[in-house]
Amino acid sequence: MPYVNIQITREGTSPGATGATPEQKAALIKGVSDLLFEVLKKPHAATFVVIDEVPMENWGMGGLPVEEYRRQTASKTS
């Protein structure tokens, strides 16, 4: 029984959005389940997919909160 845990930041991909939409989450669940079936022949009924949305302040990269990391990275490429 495959168990897949997807962790994403709680931020939207369009103006005003505050997280992934139900349609985006459904697409992730279907895509992961389909991939496990195609590659490993794991049946959809035995595949569990959990999506955790993490608040931005709880996510870090490069020793920094992710928002600060992005600011610093953006200023280096400008």
Instruction: Please report, for residues 7, 25, 38, the alpha-carbon distance to residue 58 in angstroms, rounded to integers and kept in the order given.
Output: 12, 20, 34
Q: Please answer whether residues 23 and 16 qualify as being in contact, where contact means their C-beta atoms are separated by less than 8 angstroms.
A: no
Among candidate residues 2, 15, 22, 55, the one labeled active-site is 2
22 noted as active-site residue: no
Tokens 């669940």, located at residue: 29
CA distance 32 to 25: 11
Q: What are phi and psi of 67, to 5 degrees?
A: -65, -40
Task: Report the catalytic residues.
Answer: 2
